[in-house]
């Protein structure tokens, strides 16, 4: 085994504080996406704006996109300021 593979930090969402924070942010995005999707399906009101199925689905997709991006960052990105 070479020294580069023996000393690698590995890939995982909980190796550093940065990756843990990004994983938590991803979870928050997914939970809020589900809430917005459900409120839109239910036809509820959110912050003075009445949601419908289309706006709820749009909010669900946008926030899920940000959740996926944040999960990818948590899994693969390393902070560069600590070296």
Residues 22 and 35: their CA atoms lie apart, in Å, by: 20
Q: Are 14 and 23 in contact (CB under 8 A)?
A: yes
Q: Which tokens in the block code for residue 25?
A: 């942010």
Please identify which residue in the block is written with the tokens 């924070």: 21
Residue 79, pLDDT score: 62
Tens digits of residue pLDDT in 26-83:
999 999 999 988 888 877 777 777 878 888 889 899 999 999 999 888 887 766 655 5
**DSSP at 21:** H
User: 0.75 cut: is pTM over it?
Assistant: no
């Amino acid at each position: 085994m070479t020294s580069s593979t023996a000393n690698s930090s590995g890939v995982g969402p909980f190796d550093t504080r940065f990756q843990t924070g990004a994983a938590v942010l991803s979870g928050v995005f997914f939970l809020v996406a589900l809430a917005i999707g459900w409120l839109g399906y239910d036809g509820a009101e959110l912050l003075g704006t009445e949601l419908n199925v289309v706006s709820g689905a749009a909010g669900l997709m946008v926030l899920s996109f940000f959740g996926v991006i944040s999960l990818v960052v948590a899994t693969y990105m390393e902070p560069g300021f600590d070296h």
